[in-house]
Amino acid sequence: MSFKRRSRNFELIPLDQEIERTFHKLNRENKKKTSTLVFPQLASMAEEQERTLREFAIPIATPSPIRRPTITNNNFETKPAMITMLQHAFVFCGLPNEDQNIHLAIFLEICDKSKFNEVTGDVVPLRLFHFSLKDRAKLWLLSQRQDSIRTWDDLYKKFLA
């Protein structure tokens, strides 16, 4: 009985000190590739899941639901006194005992106290309305789609609904 010894040239791979970490990294990359091919919408979800806890703590600017109308007048300025008057005169919080119609009437009355040259009727109320809201009402406004409110009529109808 004779045994033949076969010799093969094996290429040695360097030893990975953190084999589990490498395995999980390659596994994530593989999942990303397959999910983007099959379900492209999952790619953004995968990126969202990889955010660290610190990244979740960073505040994100909420886009405004109110599209601010363009102003041709260069010297248009919202006076701090106007904002203070809105915030202290009658702030709407969205409570069941508050009346939306009364809030809108008082809000428009305060807005009518200021007139600006070359500024249309929608500009002042659209730019100041969010200052008259607080708590649940402010959250409602921020929950609307970005640029979904373009005119005072849009805002008026959505607010009453």
**Between 50 and 151, residue with greater pLDDT:** 151
Q: What pLDDT score does 25 carry?
A: 85
Summarize pLDDT for 85-133 with one digit per residue, the tens.
Answer: 878 777 888 888 888 888 888 888 887 777 766 666 777 888 888 888 8
Summarize pLDDT for 21-42 with one digit per residue, the tens.
Answer: 888 888 888 776 655 554 555 5
Q: Domain coordinates of the chain in residue numbers?
A: 19-57, 80-160
Summarize pLDDT for 46-62 with one digit per residue, the tens.
Answer: 555 566 666 666 666 66
CB atoms within 10 A of CB 122: 15
Q: What pLDDT score does 154 carry?
A: 86
Q: Say if residues 146 and 64 touch (Cβ distance below 8 Å).
A: yes
Q: What pLDDT score does 9 carry?
A: 65
Count how many residues are written for the chain. 161
Q: What pLDDT score does 6 carry?
A: 60
Q: What pLDDT score does 4 carry?
A: 58
Q: What pLDDT score does 48 carry?
A: 58
Q: What is the pTM of this model?
A: 0.55
Q: What pLDDT score does 149 carry?
A: 85
Q: Say if residues 124 and 132 touch (Cβ distance below 8 Å).
A: no
